[in-house]
Amino acid sequence: MSMRTGGCMCGAVRFTAREVPTQVGACHCEMCRRWTGSALIGVTVALENLSWEDETHLGRIQSSDWAERGFCTRCGSGMFFRVTMASDYSGDIELPLGVFDDADGFKMTNEIYIDIKPDSFAYDGQSGHKLMTRAECHAKFGVLAETAD
């Protein structure tokens, strides 16, 4: 476990998370797929180990009777998923891997809702699809090299 920082795409929402585990999971439920545009791949952090630098642009939506999702009100980046109903999981917050400044060092240890996981979700490179590096993308799509990542 370690300390990690992160934020939204535009930088308006920033956080520091302490005691971040290295195990991550993927959720393939319909709500997570619609929220992220794919699966929610995230890490669970104890709520007391997360601090926001400034919550001015941190929006929240009660996405179901039992959970809320947080997002940046300026750029729309999904920032967290949190169970709000009293349960064994209500003291934690799920942070998408994409919001971390450094998302290296994590290991996928579980996937849920796999019975409804789309058969097109194959990220391992073993199914014959083309893999491109950052440099290859910049070379192929020149405008990418001119914009911030």
In a domain, 134, yes or no: no
pLDDT in tens, 14-36: 999 999 999 999 999 999 999 99
In a domain, 93, yes or no: yes
In a domain, 99, yes or no: yes
For residue 12, the surrounding DSSP H or E stretch is none
Domain at 108, CATH number: 2.170.150.70
In a domain, 145, yes or no: no
Structure confidence at residue 147 as a pLDDT band (50, 70, 90): low
**pLDDT above 80 (res 104):** yes
Task: Find out whether 71 and 78 touch, Cβ atoms under 8 Å.
Answer: yes
Q: How many domains does the structure of the chain reveal?
A: 1
Range of the domain at 81: 2-117
Structure confidence at residue 135 as a pLDDT band (50, 70, 90): confident
- b/e code 26-49 from CB counts within 10 Å (16+ = b): bbbeeebbebbeebbbbbebeeee
In a domain, 131, yes or no: no
CA dist., res. 25 & res. 99, Å (int):
15
pLDDT in tens, 50-103: 999 999 999 999 998 889 999 999 999 999 999 998 888 788 999 999 999 999
In a domain, 84, yes or no: yes
In a domain, 92, yes or no: yes
Instruction: Give residue 59's pLDDT.
Output: 98
In a domain, 103, yes or no: yes
CA dist., res. 145 & res. 148, Å (int):
8
Mean pLDDT of 109-125: 80
CA dist., res. 40 & res. 31, Å (int):
9
